[in-house]
């Protein structure tokens, strides 16, 4: 079993209240948009239980999703489309989605904390935080909004494009998904630039 890396607590250089956390979900899947969220939490309305969305149960994520909507000072959800992913590559599309999310905040932040080690091309004062969704509450909140939003969308897309199992694996390259791709070929929401889809796209031309 791989030993889990334990990172030290993150100390933010910004001490004000207009602090946004931003995170994205959906870099690994073979299908669907990459979704990002930005959140400015309200110190007067703390939210208990915020954590990396991947480590929370679906029930807990859904409950926190509603609480973030109710208690956060402001939030925004944005995306980069499948077409943009194929044009830009997934890294640059993810950064674009995060930039859009922060720009759409109704209250603009004075400082932004970005999950990961790369920041979007923007004018905001910011810092990157490796594994920030487990170390910074605002980033954790953003990860929850992004994941619940994307998961719900994949359930809807499963009805539009049946046979791939999107509601279950959410577009990730599981064995079931790869087998369905072999049988059905790529759908309009599959990322043609990703190797398993790219190979099959050529076969189904």
Q: Could you list the residues known to form a binding site for a divalent metal cation, using ranges.
A: 23-24, 115
Nearest-CA neighbor of 51 among 144, 114, 127?
144
Binding residues: 23-24, 115
Cα separations in angstroms, 19 against 40, 140, 199: 6, 13, 43
Q: Give the whole-angstrom CA distance, residue 1 versus residue 157.
A: 35
| Burial classification of residue 103, based on how many CB atoms lie within 10 Å of its CB (0-12 exposed, 13-18 middle, 19 or more buried) | middle
| Burial classification of residue 150, based on how many CB atoms lie within 10 Å of its CB (0-12 exposed, 13-18 middle, 19 or more buried) | buried
Enumerate residues 6+ apart whose C-beta is below 8 A from 69. 75
Q: Give the whole-angstrom CA distance, residue 58 versus residue 139.
A: 18
Q: Give the whole-angstrom CA distance, residue 86 versus residue 82.
A: 6
């Amino acid at each position: 079993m791989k030993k889990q890396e334990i990172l030290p607590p993150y100390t933010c250089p910004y001490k004000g209240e207009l602090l946004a956390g931003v995170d994205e979900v959906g870099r690994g899947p073979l299908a669907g948009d990459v979704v990002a969220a930005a959140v400015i939490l309200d110190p007067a309305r703390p939210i208990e239980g915020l954590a990396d969305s991947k480590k929370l149960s679906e029930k807990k994520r859904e409950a926190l999703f509603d609480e973030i909507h109710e208690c956060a000072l402001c939030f925004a959800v944005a995306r980069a489309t499948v077409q943009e992913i194929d044009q830009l590559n997934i890294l640059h599309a993810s950064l674009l989605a995060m930039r859009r999310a922060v720009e759409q905040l109704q209250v603009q932040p004075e400082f932004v904390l970005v999950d990961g080690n790369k920041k979007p091309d923007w004018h905001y004062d910011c810092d990157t935080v490796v594994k920030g969704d487990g170390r910074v509450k605002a980033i954790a909140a953003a990860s929850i909004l992004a994941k619940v939003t994307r998961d719900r969308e994949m359930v809807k897309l499963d009805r539009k494009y049946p046979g791939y199992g999107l509601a279950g694996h959410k577009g990730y390259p599981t064995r079931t998904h790869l087998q369905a791709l072999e049988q059905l070929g790529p759908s309009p929401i599959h990322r043609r630039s990703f190797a398993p889809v790219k190979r099959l796209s050529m076969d189904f031309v």
